[in-house]
């Protein structure tokens, strides 16, 4: 049989957006905060996403992206005509318009930042899950030199390297590198590694990871493709080079050590290279406790840890279900699974699978035995429709979803609702002060298990 003839679509050429509007200055009333670290304003009927502003302010904004005929512009607030009471002077000298893009909210008090993040979480749930959630963003303890200052919390930082070999961070939505002498949100251990005071040759990025075991931080340099990296001497750090073939030791060790304590039990972990670990020092224990509170694992139960990394939640679940229980951890990074094997080898009730979560959830044995409780900590893009459906198919009594993107979480909340699971608790944590990022832990249960509130 010959193939059916294809129909040609008539395509209309895109209308030109008009002259470039970059550099244009406009005066606007700043509206609500939006997901992504900016606020929404309007100018002559056009939406303008304004950074370095706060809701309710009146500012002069300079357009950074957009053309005269575009539906929206991006802009920076370059002059504040009417300031919000919570506006402060940014503690970092390069946290302003056109400079470093690493932080979003240094111009607001930490308390105001948490209010903005709570508003974003609530708006995403209204928009994507049709739910009104009452959420406040909790301050994370520790991490700063002064309580609540929002500084010196980042234990892992990836720096870019400019053409002259200087390290820094990129400008917002740009490849341009802003060279730094300090990064006030990075810990003293990260800054003390010496990478900001040295020059690197043929290097694209430099990642610094400082573990909680007190050992020297690890510096991982990624060379420009096809070149040999030229590294300075860093006496205060271990050094490794990452290539497509793997991690190559230069000096010291190629991993960092982490220790956490939750509910009276301590666990030690090793994290190879600059592998994933929560960047705020309080985050592992804080999230671990939140997950246990959401799931309330019982002795002898079957637990499933998806996107398990080096096994943070795996270890805590193993403590909770005990020797008679079982914990299956699934992680796509083979390096992370190797680390988990080294860290969790004494826990006989733990089983580790290296592979894609989506594929693991179709395993006949896993589908047959199901799971009593599930925790998932997916990447920023979230779990997605198919993964959510597969989790629901295992019929767990409770699901704990750890999310660093409230939009992905809200979208997946709607997917879970379609499979009979409802949101039964939501906590949000300020684990990324000065930035727009927020970490959430959501609890889901089958709709039939939600208690009906008493009648008034």
Residue ranges for the known binding site for S-adenosyl-L-methionine are 278, 307, 331, 377
Pick from 115, 120, 96: which is nearest to 107 by CA?
Answer: 96
Residue 331 backbone phi and psi in degrees, to 5: -145, 135
If phi > 0 it is left, if psi is from -120 to 50 it is alpha, else beta; for residue 315 that is alpha
Pick from 149, 148, 115, 119: which is nearest to 132 by CA?
Answer: 119
Rounded Cα gap, residues 132 and 125, in angstroms: 7
Q: Which two tokens stand for residue 203?
A: 């290097």
The verdict on whether 404 is a catalytic residue reads yes
Pick from 321, 318, 273, 297: which is nearest to 396 by CA?
Answer: 297
Angle 421-425-430 from CA coordinates, rounded to 5°: 130
Residue ranges for the known binding site are 278, 307, 331, 377
Question: Residues near 28 by Cβ (< 8 Å), separated by ≥ 6?
Answer: 41, 42, 43, 48, 50, 58, 59, 61
Q: Which two tokens stand for residue 389?
A: 């459906």
Pick from 115, 182, 194, 179: which is nearest to 154 by CA?
Answer: 182
| Per-residue exposure over 169-179, b if at least 16 CB sit within 10 Å of its own CB, e if not | bbbbeeeebbb
Q: What sign for the dihedral angle of Cα 331, 333, 339, 345?
A: positive
Burial group, residue 305, by CB count within 10 angstroms (0-12, 13-18, 19+): buried
Q: How far is C-alpha 244 from the geometric centre of its chain's CA atoms? A: 24
Q: Which two tokens stand for residue 77?
A: 């607030």
Place of tokens 């304003």: 41
The strand pair at 218-223 and 255-262 is best described as unpaired
Rounded Cα gap, residues 64 and 81, in angstroms: 19
Q: Which entry of 100, 183, 404, 440 is annotated as an active-site residue?
A: 404
Angle 133-116-111 from CA coordinates, rounded to 5°: 110
Rounded Cα gap, residues 44 and 35, in angstroms: 23
SS3 breakdown of the chain: % helix, strand, coil, rounded to 5?
20, 35, 45
Residues marked as catalytic: 404
């Amino acid at each position: 049989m010959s193939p059916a003839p294809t129909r040609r679509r008539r395509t209309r050429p895109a209308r030109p957006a008009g002259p470039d509007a970059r550099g244009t200055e406009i005066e606007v009333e700043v509206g609500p905060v939006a997901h992504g670290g900016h606020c929404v304003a309007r100018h002559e009927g056009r939406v303008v996403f304004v950074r370095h502003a706060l809701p309710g302010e009146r500012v002069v904004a300079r357009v950074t992206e957009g053309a005269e005929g575009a539906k929206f512009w991006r802009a920076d607030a370059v002059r504040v005509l009417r300031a919000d009471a919570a506006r402060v002077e940014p503690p970092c000298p390069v946290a302003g318009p056109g400079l470093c893009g690493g932080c979003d909210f240094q111009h607001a008090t930490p308390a105001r930042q948490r209010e903005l993040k709570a508003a974003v979480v609530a708006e995403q749930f209204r928009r994507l899950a049709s739910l009104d959630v009452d959420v406040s963003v909790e301050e994370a303890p520790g991490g700063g030199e002064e309580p609540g200052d929002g500084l010196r919390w980042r234990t892992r930082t990836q720096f870019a390297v400019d053409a002259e070999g200087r390290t820094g961070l990129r400008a917002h939505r740009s490849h341009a590198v802003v060279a730094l002498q300090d990064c006030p949100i990075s810990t003293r251990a990260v800054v003390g590694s010496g990478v900001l005071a040295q020059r690197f040759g043929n290097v694209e990025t430099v990642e610094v990871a400082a573990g909680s075991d007190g050992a020297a931080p690890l510096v991982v340099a990624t060379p420009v493709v096809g070149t040999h990296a030229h590294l300075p001497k860093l006496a205060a750090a271990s050094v490794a080079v990452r290539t497509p073939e793997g991690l190559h030791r230069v000096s010291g060790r190629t991993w960092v050590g982490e220790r956490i304590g939750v509910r009276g039990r301590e666990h030690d972990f090793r994290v190879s290279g600059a592998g994933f670990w929560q960047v705020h020092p309080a985050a592992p224990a804080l999230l671990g406790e939140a997950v246990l509170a959401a799931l309330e694992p019982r002795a002898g139960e079957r637990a499933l840890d998806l996107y398990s990394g080096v096994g943070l939640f795996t270890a805590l679940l193993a403590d909770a279900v005990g020797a008679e229980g079982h914990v299956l951890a699934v992680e796509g990074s083979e390096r992370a699974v190797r680390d988990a094997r080294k860290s969790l080898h004494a826990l006989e009730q733990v089983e580790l699978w290296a592979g894609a979560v989506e594929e693991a959830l179709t395993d006949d044995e896993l589908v047959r035995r199901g799971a009593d409780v599930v925790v998932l900590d997916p990447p920023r893009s979230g779990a997605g429709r198919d993964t959510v459906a597969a989790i629901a198919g295992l019929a767990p009594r409770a699901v704990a979803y750890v999310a660093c993107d409230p939009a992905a979480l809200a979208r997946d909340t709607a997917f879970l609702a379609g499979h009979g699971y409802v949101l039964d608790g939501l906590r949000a944590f300020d684990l990324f002060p000065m930035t727009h990022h927020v970490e959430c832990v959501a609890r889901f249960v089958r709709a039939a298990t939600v208690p009906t509130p008493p009648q008034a």
